[in-house]
Amino acid sequence: MKSVFLSLFALALSTPVLSVSVYGQCGGINWTGGTTCDTGSVCTKLNDYYFQCLPGVSPTTPPTTTPPTSTPPTTTSSAPTSSICPGATTKFSLFGVNESGAEFGNTVVPGVLGTDYTWPSPSSVDYFVTNGFNAFRIPFLMERMSPPATGLTGPLDQTYLSGLKTIVNYITGKGAFAIIDPHNFMIYNGATISSTSDFQTWWKTLANEFKTNKNVIFDAMNEPHDIPATTVASLMQAAINGIRSSGATSQLIVVEGTSWTGAWTWTSSGNAAAFTGLKDPNNNFAIEMHQYLDSDGSGTSATCVSPTIGAERIADATNWLKQNNLKGFLGEIGAGSNAACISAVQGALCSMQTSGVWLGALWWAAGPWWGTYYQSIEPPSGPAVAQIVPALKAFQ
């Protein structure tokens, strides 16, 4: 995410005793909470395990909370039709959250663990896995991984690497996927990365540390910007080459474009033209894009442009993916916890699942240091947990 947060305001959260707020969970197998929605919303069955309060007229019968006698929900790629996303859909193979912390304090290098930066909390991972999410993006800082004194082609810092390995192994030990993300915007030690050779060597060195873990995904670089799309594409190709040459041949690689890898600017930024020629000898890469739903697409405002802006902003990118027979991955999406924004987020996710070309999506963000940041879904009490987690669960 490209924003620098100087002042964030807490959302006032409350749990009604006798009713469930709009977009809250209101039923399903093993559900023990409320089943009556606030006035103006209806408790709608999305699947046997999950009912959600959606805007509309109240139902005439309450939802069931007992197990059905039929077979369990399907685990195939086809998702059932729902009132949120009518028609045939393709279930996401990767669906989860960004777990921030290790990239914090980027002006202090190397920084002090616990003071300038932190690693994600295992309890946060547990919460999301228990709630059915399976993908976690772990941002980290390149200058801490590769100290500027020895540069991109030098040895990795073993202490920082150990921290990354610890949380990665914890995630993958749960059967989930860990996406390792150099969160540097294609800038290292104050200068834009320009050497494809150095970048390829850096990725070969890092990927070598994770090549035996099949549940690791390599995110080549977070949000390059103010760099020509053709230059970024060349660097992404170098990353692919470096990762594969390390012996990491089975894992997915996701690559990002210039202009903060925005889905809504994918064509206008030049990414659409520049990213059609990437080659992976193992044919296992996807295009990662990010999308926020406020007026300037920065993710700094809890006010969304409209309830339909999510689907609108990814439409062009979806068409491009289809035309070029490529897969997409929405590595960051975020918005406010209000009816318009939740509709916009769900509209985006619905259009993605309907298209069949998106592997999945990640919410921005979880992480132990977000405090009152309005998009935080860090459990148990991040400002967005109460409404956003249920809204996302509808797409599992």
Shared-domain flag, residues 51 and 143: no
Domain-located, residue 89: no
Shared-domain flag, residues 39 and 100: no
Q: How many domains does the chain have?
A: 2
Domain-located, residue 172: yes
Give the C-alpha separation, 36 to 13, whole Å: 18
Whether residue 312 lies in the annotated active site? no
Shared-domain flag, residues 275 and 375: yes
Shared-domain flag, residues 290 and 350: yes
Give the C-alpha separation, 176 to 122, whole Å: 13
Shared-domain flag, residues 47 and 158: no
Residuewise pLDDT in 10s, the chain (396 residues): 654 443 332 333 233 335 776 556 677 655 567 888 878 778 877 555 456 666 654 333 334 333 332 222 223 344 444 568 877 899 999 999 999 999 999 999 999 999 999 999 999 999 999 999 999 999 999 999 999 999 999 999 999 999 999 999 999 999 999 999 999 999 999 999 999 999 999 999 999 999 999 999 999 999 999 999 999 999 999 999 999 999 999 999 999 999 999 999 999 999 999 999 999 999 999 999 999 999 999 999 999 999 999 999 999 999 999 999 999 999 999 999 999 999 999 999 999 999 999 999 999 999 999 999 999 999 999 999 999 999 999 999
Shared-domain flag, residues 108 and 45: no
Helix axes 122-130, 158-173, angle to 10 degrees: 20
Helix (H) and strand (E) counts in the chain: 9, 15
pTM, rounded to two decimals:
0.82
Domain-located, residue 311: yes
Tally of CB atoms within 10 A around 194: 13
Specify the pairing of strand 177-182 against strand 216-219: parallel
Shared-domain flag, residues 279 and 146: yes
Domain-located, residue 123: yes
Domain-located, residue 12: no
Residue 188 contacts residue 182 (beta carbons within 8 Å): no
Shared-domain flag, residues 179 and 47: no
From 99, 103, 256, 332, the catalytic residue = 332
From 99, 103, 223, 288, the catalytic residue = 223
Domain containing residue 259? 94-392
Residues in Cβ contact with 48 at an 8 Å cutoff, skipping those fewer than 6 apart: 28, 29, 67, 68, 72, 73
C-alpha distances (whole Å) from 21 to each of 14, 25, 129, 188, 389 are: 9, 9, 24, 45, 13
CATH number reported for the structural domain that contains residue 237 in this entry: 3.20.20.80
Domain-located, residue 16: no
Give the C-alpha separation, 41 to 269, whole Å: 40
Domain-located, residue 71: no
Q: Pseudo-torsion of CA 382, 384, 386, 391, nearest 10°?
A: -140
Full DSSP string of 79-90: EPP-SSS-S-EE
Domain-located, residue 120: yes
Tally of CB atoms within 10 A around 207: 22
Residue 303 contacts residue 336 (beta carbons within 8 Å): yes
